[in-house]
Amino acid sequence: MSGVFSSFPYGAIYYAILDFDSCFLFWLKTTKNTTIQHISQKNILSVKMVYNDIPFDGIKLRENDKRRVAYFYDADVGNYAYGAGHAMKPHRIRMTHSLIMNYGLYKKMEIYRAKPATKQEMCQFHTDEYIDFLSRVTLDNVHQFAKETVKFNINDDCPVFDGLYEYCAISGGGSMEGAARLNRGKCDVAINYAGGLHHAKKSEASGFCYLNDIVLGIIELLRFHPRVLYIDIDVHHGDGVEEAFYTTDRVMTCSFHKYGEFFPGTGELRDVGVGKGKNYSVNVPLRDGIDDASYKNVFEPVIGKIMEWYQPSAVVLQCGGDSLSGDRLGCFNLSMQGHANCVNYVKSFGIPLMIVGGGGYTMRNVARTWCYETGILNNVLLDENLPYNDYFEYYGPDYKLDVRQSNMFNANSPKYLDNILINIFENLEHTKYAPSVQLNIVPNDKENLGDVEEDTAEALDTKGGSQYARDNIVETYNEY
C-alpha cells in the first residue's frame, strides 16, 4: 500500500480509521520518516475490536410479550423412514410434538394440520420433471428410473423410500400454509418443524432434502412482503435457499455454518450474491467447537445490523438442531439455551416470523430443543423436569429438558470472529438503504373451501360447537 502514497510530497499525511461500534474517527499521523507499512492490521485492530467477547448469561423473556402462534403438525410425518441406519429420522418430529403437548403448550397456540402441497404448488420452484419423478418413483420401480436417479442425485444420502412424495408434500404444505397465515395476519409466528429442508435444489435432491419447503414458503411471503430475511442456524450451509435467491435483493439470506471440509462445501465469506442480489447473501463461516458465548456474540451483531439496514417485513428462521453439542453429524458445541437464544433474539424484533425445522441427528436433543423454543415463542420458560410422554425413556438417564455443552475445544478465536464481523459489516454497508419494490396487484389466494368436512350439521350439533371452533380456543395470557 505504501506505493500508493509515493507520489505525495514529504510532510504530514493523515489516515482515518473507522471504529465500527461508535463511529469514532481515530487519526494517525505520518511524517517524512514514517510509511504506511508501519500501520499494520494488528495495530488497527488494537484500537478497537468489532467483536465483543461477552459471557453468555442465559435467556430472559419480556413480560407480556405473547404472540399469536400457529403450529403446524401432521401426525403421519413420523411414520416415514429414510431406511435402516440413515441419520435422518422424521420420528424426531413426533417426539417433539409429544413433548409440546405434554407441557401443555397446545393451550397457548393454534394447532393445524396443513393441506399437503400439490404438484402445482411444488412447481413454483422445482421443475416439472423433477416433481413428476418424485411422485412416480417407489421402492418397487426404482430400477426403471436408473437414468433419472443419477440426474436427480438420488443416492445413499437421498434414497427412495416408501411414501417419499407424501413426506415431501407434508413438509411443503406446512411451510406454505404457515406463510399464507402470516400474510393474512392470522398469526404472528408460524411453526413447521417438518420443514427446513434447505439443501434441495430446483431439480435435484441433496443432503437428505428433496423438496425445498423454505423456498416455497418465501415465495408465498413475497406475494405480500417487499423484503424477506432468511436466517439459517443449521451446522450446514443453507445452499439451496441461497442459490434460489442469489440474484435478487428481495430476499436476504444469512447462514451461520461450519465451513471447511464439510458438507456441502459452500458458504464462503466472499459469497455475497450477484447482479441485483450482490451483498444480499451473508455467510458466516465458523470452525469446530463454537460455544454459546461466541455464537451469541457473532449472531446478534450480524442480525442486528441486517435488521437495521435491510428492514425486512418478514423473517424465516431455520432452526437446524445439528448445531447442538453432541450431534451425530455436527461439530458445534451449542447448548439448548445457546441455540434457543437465537430464536428469542429474532422474536424480539416483533416482525412476522416463520420457524422451520431442519437438521438434527441426535433425536432426544432435537426434540428437547424444539420443544423449549416453542415455549419461548409462546413466552414461556418450560420446567426442566420433563413431563411423562410417549417417548419418556428416550430422555434418560437424567430426564431433564436440557442439552449441555461439552468440553470441546473452541477453534473460533476472537481475532478470527472479529475478522468475519469486519468483512460482513463492510459488505452490509452497501445495503444500508432498504431496496424498494414496485407496487403490484397481489395475486389471488388459492381456492379456500373452508372447513367443510369438520363443520357438518352433526358436528355443529355437538356440545361446544364444531371441531374447528374448538381448535380456535386458545388459553389467553394469565387466564389461569
Percent of the chain with pLDDT over 90: 78
Residues β-bridged to residue 429: none
> What is the pTM for the complete model shown?
0.85
Mean pLDDT across the stretch 414-426?
96
Torsion, CA 377, CA 380, CA 385, CA 389, rounded to 10? -60
432 has a pLDDT exceeding 80? no
Mean pLDDT across the stretch 26-55?
53
pLDDT at 469: 63
In degrees rounded to 5, what are phi and psi of residue 169?
A: -65, -40
8 has a pLDDT exceeding 60? no
pLDDT at 17: 41
Q: Which among 303, 315, 333, 322 has a CA at the least distance from the CA of 363?
A: 322
pLDDT at 191: 98
Q: What is the DSSP letter of 8?
A: S
pLDDT at 436: 83
Mean pLDDT across the stretch 465-475?
63
Please count the residues of the chain: 480
Q: How does pLDDT run across 160-205, given as a tens digit for each residue?
A: 999 999 999 999 999 999 999 999 999 999 999 999 999 999 999 9
What is the C-alpha to C-alpha distance for residues 243 and 260, in angstroms, rounded to an integer?
Answer: 19
Q: How does pLDDT run across 354-387, given as a tens digit for each residue?
A: 999 999 999 999 999 999 999 999 999 999 999 9
Q: How many Cβ atoms are within 10 Å of 259's Cβ, its own excluded?
A: 18
Q: Which among 224, 271, 280, 290 has a CA at the least distance from the CA of 51?
A: 290
Confidence category of residue 437, pLDDT binned at 50, 70, 90: confident
328's grid cell: 451425530
Q: How does pLDDT run across 247-283, given as a tens digit for each residue?
A: 999 999 999 999 999 999 999 999 999 999 999 999 9
Q: Is position 236 annotated as part of the catalytic site? A: no
> Strands, DSSP E only, in 371-414?
none
414 has a pLDDT exceeding 90? yes
Q: How many Cβ atoms are within 10 Å of 471's Cβ, its own excluded?
A: 15
Confidence category of residue 335, pLDDT binned at 50, 70, 90: very high
Cis-peptide into 387, omega within 30 deg: no
Q: How does pLDDT run across 124-166, given as a tens digit for each residue?
A: 999 999 999 999 999 999 999 999 999 999 999 999 999 999 9
Q: Which residue has the higher pLDDT, 435 or 102?
A: 102
Longest dimension (CA), the chain: 95
Which is the catalytic residue, given 97, 126, 198, 199?
A: 199
Alpha carbon of 67 to those of 185, 271, 337, 426: distances in Å? 12, 35, 20, 34
pLDDT at 460: 53
Q: How does pLDDT run across 205-261, given as a tens digit for each residue?
A: 999 999 999 999 999 999 999 999 999 999 999 999 999 999 999 999 999 999 999
pLDDT at 282: 98
What is the C-alpha to C-alpha distance for residues 19 and 62, in angstroms, rounded to an integer?
Answer: 32
